[in-house]
Chain A
Amino acid sequence: NAGVTQTPKFQVLKTGQSMTLQCAQDMNHEYMSWYRQDPGMGLRLIHYSVGAGITDQGEVPNGYNVSRSTTEDFPLRLLSAAPSQTSVYFCASSQGATGNTIYFGEGSWLTVV
């Protein structure tokens, strides 16, 4: 019963490096999303997907790319990391029906130096 799995949990990057945060869910959920958490700002939506092959931007998409080639996976790519992307990243998934639960992964702590 894995739920939503994020990797890595911790990562330190140098400015300009690229990396991918992985997110996988085993609940056959159609909806997946990425949030970032910053002190005093709560969580903000980066990108989301309503199904395989469909993605859209959230509130803070700049500097991030996503794709959804399968229902299970929704990776988040940082093409050229910047110190402003130092944050905690959360992946979420859900079935998209009223009253259903939105599940979160355990988070990925990213530091860009």
Chain B
Amino acid sequence: GDSVTQMEGPVTLSEEAFLTINCTYTATGYPSLFWYVQYPGEGLQLLLKATKADDKGSNKGFEATYRKETTSFHLEKGSVQVSDSAVYFCALRRVNDKLIFGTGTRLQVFP
């Protein structure tokens, strides 16, 4: 069946460091891909999305490119801030808008 695999955390970085959170997927066809973010004590927010191969989603300095050949959707940011500390979830959408999530990656950014 379809699945999403994320790198395990926590990822610990200093402010202004470069961030990569790996996400790979297994799916039939070409599902839409998403990154959601959950700040401490809050709900899920859509961070970015891509609906077809080679699409690049971007928001708030974060980027991810839908790579069909490597079945990946890695999240990147050039310079992280303390305020980016959160849990990040990669997800794919299946029929009837059902989402399959990765296990989440906790990011901790220190000043």
Render B83-111 as a binary contact track against A, CB cut-off 8 A, 1 for contact: 00000010101001111111110000000
Contacts of A101 in B (CB 8 A): 46, 49
Question: What residues of A have a CB within 8 angstroms of the CB of B101 in the complex?
Answer: 35, 42-44
Question: 10 closest A-B pairs (Cβ-Cβ)?
Answer: A106-B43, A42-B101, A104-B44, A107-B43, A43-B101, A42-B103, A31-B97, A94-B97, A99-B51, A96-B97
- Interchain CA distance A101-B34 in the complex, whole Å: 10
> Chain B: residues with CB nearer than 8 A to chain A?
4, 32, 34, 36, 42-46, 49, 51, 89, 91, 93, 96-104
> Which range holds the interface residue count of chain A?
20 to 34
**Residue in B44, B96, B103 whose beta carbon sits within 8 Å of that of A50 in the complex:** B96
Which one of B32, B44, B96 lies within 8 Å of A31 (CB-CB)? B96
Query: B55: nearest residue on chain A (CB-CB)?
Result: A99
